[in-house]
Amino acid sequence: MSSTSSKTFLRGALVLAIAAMISKIFGSVYTVVLQNVIGDRGMGLYQMAYPIYATLLVISTAGFPVAVSKYVSEYTALGDIATAKKIYRISFALLAVVGFVCAIGLYVSAGFFAQISGDPKAVYAIQAIAPALFIVPAMSTMRGYFQGWQLMNPTAISQVVEQFVRVATILVGAYAVLHFGFGDSMAAAAAAFGAVSGGVAGFLVMAYYFWIYRRDQKWRTAEFETETLQHKHTSLSTVQILRRLVYYAIPVSLGALVIPLTSNVDALTVTNLLKEQGMAQLAATQDFGLLAGRAFKLMMLPAALAGSIGTALMPSVSQANALRQAEATSTRILLGMRVAILFSLPAAVGLFILGKPIDIALFRNAAGFHSIQILGAATFFSSVQIALAASLQGLGAVYIPLQSLLVGTVLKIALNFALVPVLGIDGAAIATTVSYAVAAFMNFTSLRKRIGPSIAMGKMLWKPVFATFVMGAFTYAAYRQWQHLRLITAPRMDAFVVTGVGVSVGIFVYLFMLILAGSVTATEISAMPKVGVPLVRFFRRVGILN
């Protein structure tokens, strides 16, 4: 893999990772504030609308943005720019129509969904969120087109703008509605409308980038060079394009549905299994809240980072595979795997060591820290599984990640029934970790059959494992030393400070050990947006980087 190709992938992955982190921070902040603004009932009405919207959004997009990204990357690599553009236009038109139908359908049937959700007043929130089903799928297709060109900035910026506008609408809208005396049901509707305003904002950002890149001489030059340097293909018919998109999109969509299904396994089983063991309703519900509201929320950030790596990795692998460049394909897969490991391994160890102070700092007490520690391991396996799935999708083996997730989900259900009665919510956390580990192993086995022994997990792991071990030792030492000092008496403030100290020490030591062990190169560091080149200069000046 050339230095330029490596930089392109890494920069794209890091840009998307930063956008995902910012979006997650916005998302974490608004839920706390909104709860205080509209109260428990208003929050309940809002939460009745959002899962319905999220499920229909997965159905309405149906994996098409990922399929667009794959096929655009392939056909641009082969020089068939006309087909790449035709794929985008057909996908955009199809998802606009499907999204429109879903939006109208949800709006019309809002009363029915409100009834089965348990509160008729949820109808306003469901109606308010319905128009987003028309806007967001079309915007997602635009993102897929840019990702196929391996241009990640438009997606990243539109995601941040979308989330910012969404959160602003949620908080300002809910507060204004309550201020003018319209009640909590209308406040929940104002909050739900944030998905619409955020979607419009993200769409406008993508439209702006389309306008800019069409006028940009570099864009035109890139198209011209690709068309002239590579052999051309006969443009596919509309029916052929639809067949390819549907073949690829359906398993991606089903895989996207399996992930929330895994979370719903706990919602449907944990509380009931705890009650069967004699636990009271209130205590069982509270325990489930510790699992879902604390441990799983903390697991989501590393998963979002891994998703960013997968988004950048898939078109990169697909491009090399389309050109039948076996060595480049293997190299890009290995780089993607290595980046996923480099991010997720220290996150897993950090959650294990600092699980207790993190729990106190964010949630006021340490009631759920054992589950947080266990799910630390799940963050590693989940991240590796996502990177492996993206690689397989790039190779065209799109049904294998779906199969591995389904097997993992069945195993999760079985382990919940076996472990929750004995270990409580820690048993559910163990079940989640094992299910992701099995899915990752299945993906790894399938990928190795396709690209051969070049994917040696041991070689990829030993340097990050060594760096993580040293990082963990220093982080644990800093944590224990702070406990002995007892400089701050307020428990929550103490937890905030010790978490900050531990994370800072961990990041510094981990980066230092990675560079010392030669696990990251100057090219990879310089791919970091804005700070990469200055960091390389600094590390070279102090003599820890050649």
pLDDT, residue 421, reads 92
pLDDT band at 516 (very low <50, low <70, confident <90, very high): confident
Condensed to tens digits (0 to 9), the pLDDT of residues 5-24 reads 556 677 777 788 788 778 77
Question: Which tens digits make up the pLDDT trace of 119-156?
Answer: 788 888 889 989 999 999 889 899 989 988 888 888 88
From first CA to last CA, the distance across the chain in angstroms is 20
Torsion of CA 57, 58, 63, 66, to 10 degrees: 70
Whole-number Å distance between alpha carbons of 75 and 149? 10
Q: What is the pLDDT of residue 221?
A: 46
DSSP 354: S
pLDDT at 482: 87
pLDDT of residue 117: 64
Give the pLDDT band of residue 415 (cuts 50, 70, 90).
very high
Closest CA to 207 of 152, 158, 163: 158
Residues with Cβ within 8 Å of 73's Cβ and at least 6 positions away in sequence, in order, are 147, 148, 149, 150, 315, 316, 318, 319, 322
What residue type is 363 in one-letter code? F
Q: Please, are residues 454 and 391 in contact by the beta-carbon 8 Å criterion?
A: no
Q: How far is CA 133 from the centre of its chain?
A: 20
> What pLDDT shows up at residue 470?
94
Kindly report the CA angle at 202 between 197 and 205, in degrees rounded to 5? 130
Three-state secondary structure of 216-282: CHHHHHHHHHHHHHCCCCCCCCHHHHHHHHHHHHHHHHHHHHHHHHHHHHHHHHHHHHHHHCCCCHH
Question: If you average pLDDT over every residue of the chain, what do you get?
Answer: 81
Among 76, 5, 65, 66, CA closest to 334: 5
pLDDT of residue 439: 92
**Coil, helix or strand at residue 44:** helix
Residue appearing with tokens 């929320």: 297
Predicted confidence at residue 62, as pLDDT, reads 65
- Cβ atoms of 253 and 62 closer than 8 Å: yes
Please state which of the ranges 30-34, 109-113, 338-342 shows the lowest mean pLDDT.
Answer: 30-34
Yes or no: say if 88 and 72 are a contact pair by the CB < 8 Å rule: yes
Output the six-digit token pair for 462.
Answer: 């030993």
Lowest-confidence pick of 267-276, 299-308, 341-350: 299-308
- Of the pLDDT bands very low, low, confident and very high (cuts 50, 70, 90), residue 230 is very low
- Does the pLDDT at position 198 exceed 90? yes
**Cα(468)–Cα(352) distance, rounded to whole angstroms?**
12
pLDDT value at residue 220 = 47
Contacts of 39 (CB under 8 A, 6+ apart): 184
Residue 224: band (very low, low, confident or very high) from pLDDT cuts 50, 70, 90? very low
DSSP string computed for 311-326:
HHHHHHHHHHHHTT-H
What angle, 0 to 180 degrees and rounded to 10, lies between the N-to-C axes of helices 64-77 and 369-394? Answer: 40
Structure tokens at 250: 């359906």
Break the chain into its structural domains and give their ranges.
1-236, 250-455, 461-546
Instruction: State the pLDDT confidence band at 228, using cuts at 50, 70 and 90.
Output: very low
pLDDT confidence of 227, banded at 50, 70, 90?
Answer: very low
Nearest to 382 by CA among 298, 439, 339: 439
Cα–Cα distance measured from residue 31 to residue 200, given in angstroms and rounded to the nearest whole number: 21
pLDDT tens for residues 358-377?
A: 888 877 788 878 888 998 89
Kindly indicate the confidence band of residue 165, based on its pLDDT and cuts at 50, 70 and 90: very high
Q: What is the largest CA-CA distance in the chain?
A: 73
**Residue 343, amino acid:** F
d(CA 439, CA 240): 32
pLDDT at 417: 93
For residue 225, what pLDDT band results from cuts at 50, 70 and 90? very low
Distances 32 to 38, 40, 169 between C-alpha atoms, Å: 11, 11, 15
- Of 60-69, 125-134, 481-490, which has the strongest mean pLDDT? 125-134
Flag whether pLDDT at 315 surpasses 90.
no
Instruction: With CA atoms as reference, report the closest residue to 92 among 133, 54, 145, 156.
Output: 145
**What CA–CA distance (Å, rounded) separates 512 from 527?**
18
What is the pLDDT at residue 200? 95
Is residue 223 predicted with pLDDT exceeding 60? no
Reply yes or no on whether the pLDDT at 258 is more than 60: yes
With 80 as the cut, is the pLDDT of residue 448 above it?
Answer: yes
Q: Which of the four pLDDT bands, split at 50, 70 and 90, describes residue 180?
A: confident
Query: What pLDDT, on the 0 to 100 scale, is given for residue 6?
Result: 58
* Per-residue pLDDT at 323 exceeds 60: yes
pLDDT at position 91 over 80: yes
Q: Cα 391 from chain centroid?
A: 16
